[in-house]
Each structure stands twice: as C-alpha cells, then as structure tokens.
Chains A and B, each alone.
Chain A
C-alpha cells in the first residue's frame, strides 16, 4: 500500500531556482494538502484542495503555487526559491473535506535552499 508518495525526498537548490514538488495518493481521496514543517513552528498549511479542480490558500501561501492535476496528484511549485523556504514539506490527503477523517501524510521532501 503506497498511500501518499512524495518526490523527490531530498533536494538542494540555489536561491532563485525553481522546482516542483510532486505528490500522489492512491486512496481515492478527495482532499489534498501541502504543509511545511520548521523547527519550533509545527506544521503550517501552505495550500489545500478540497476536490479535483479547486485549490485554496492556507496559512503561508506566499512564494508558492499549486496544481491539482487530477484526483490523485497535487503539486507544489516554488517559482523563485528563497533561503526562507528551506524546510521539510509534507503532502497529505483525506477521504472527504468534512468530518473527522484523518489526514494521511507522505514521508516528506527535505528542501535546502542555498
């Protein structure tokens, strides 16, 4: 059972470079989320998608864009990377947008920007 798969697992970028973080889930979930996790800051929501074709900003969306390519895939793009975006990025999915269903997380992408 793959669950939520994130690629790449590690990445080093130079300031100003762009890249796309990929996320795919095989659980037929409707909702997908992107978080960043920084020491002492917990998990902060960047963007989310309640269903295929919709995306909305979370707590810290500046400097990021997202695409809900289809029901399975939700990508996060950094157009011009900055050192402040050095973080661990987690993608998550949930079966429905409402209710107490758990979020299922991938294992993260560790991104360093020099």
Chain B
C-alpha cells in the first residue's frame, strides 16, 4: 500500500509569515493532488501536479512535485487568516487491484493563521 506522510501535522503562525508543508512517500506517484478543507466542509482541490520537478503557482501558493515523483511541497507566502484549514495531499493508489482510480490521502497539515 502506498502511504503519504504529511508534515508538520499542526502549524500555527502569524499573518504575514511564510510557511512550507510537505508530503512524502517512499513510493512513486504518477501524480499528486493538493486539497484544502475548511471547518465543516469537504475538501476542495487546489492543484494537481503530474510531471517530476513541476512547479505550479496559485496566487500566494506554490506547489512543487519532486523530481523522483515521491514527494511534494506547498509553500505559502505572506499567509492570511483565510488560508486557515486542513491541507491534504492525495495520489492514485497504484499497488492495489483497481487502485489506480482510488486516491490515497495523507493525514493532512492543520494550518492556523492568526491575525
């Protein structure tokens, strides 16, 4: 079974600070997705990275897929209270029957941005 480990588990910072959260695996993933989940809601897709070394930007959020496609990072510049939420990485589970179409999720990083 492919596992995705996210770190840190919790992060509390002040508005305006920069931060990076990580998503690591010992297995290769064909792609990785990042979701953000706000309290009381379901996860919402932020980005999908597909190519090793790929960098995608979404306003103040920068996503990178590792060259070996075993890890990914999310960097937030000048964090704002609206960035508060649970950040989840997910990738297709290639090592189980029918697994390529099932996502395996990391446990998430819970980010709190204080005003």
Q: Closest CB-CB distance, B1 to chain A, in whole Å? A: 8
Residue of B nearest to A96 (CB): B101
Residue of B nearest to A40 (CB): B107
Which chain B positions have C-beta within 8 A of A45?
Answer: 102-103
Asked if A75 is at the interface of the complex by the 8 Å CB criterion, the answer is: no
How big is the A interface, by class? 20 to 34
How big is the B interface, by class? 20 to 34
Among B40, B42, B101, B106, which residue has its beta carbon within 8 angstroms of that of A105? Answer: B42
Q: Are B88's CB and A42's CB within 8 A?
A: yes
Contact with B along A28-44 (1 / 0, CB 8 A): 00010100000011111
Q: Are A43's CB and B102's CB within 8 A?
A: no
A-B interface pairs (CB < 8 A), number: 50
Q: Are A106's CB and B107's CB within 8 A?
A: no
Besides A33-B102, A103-B103, 9 more A-B contacts (Cβ < 8 Å) are A42-B106, A43-B43, A48-B101, A50-B101, A100-B33, A100-B50, A105-B43, A107-B40, A108-B42
Complex A-B, nearest 3 residue pairs according to Cβ-Cβ distance, in ascending order: A105-B42, A102-B45, A42-B107
11 A-B residue pairs with Cβ-Cβ distance under 8 Å, sorted by A, are: A31-B101, A41-B107, A42-B88, A42-B106, A42-B107, A45-B103, A48-B102, A58-B102, A104-B45, A105-B43, A108-B41
User: B-contacting residues of A (Cβ < 8 Å)?
Assistant: 4, 31, 33, 40-45, 48, 50, 56, 58, 90, 92, 97-98, 100, 102-108
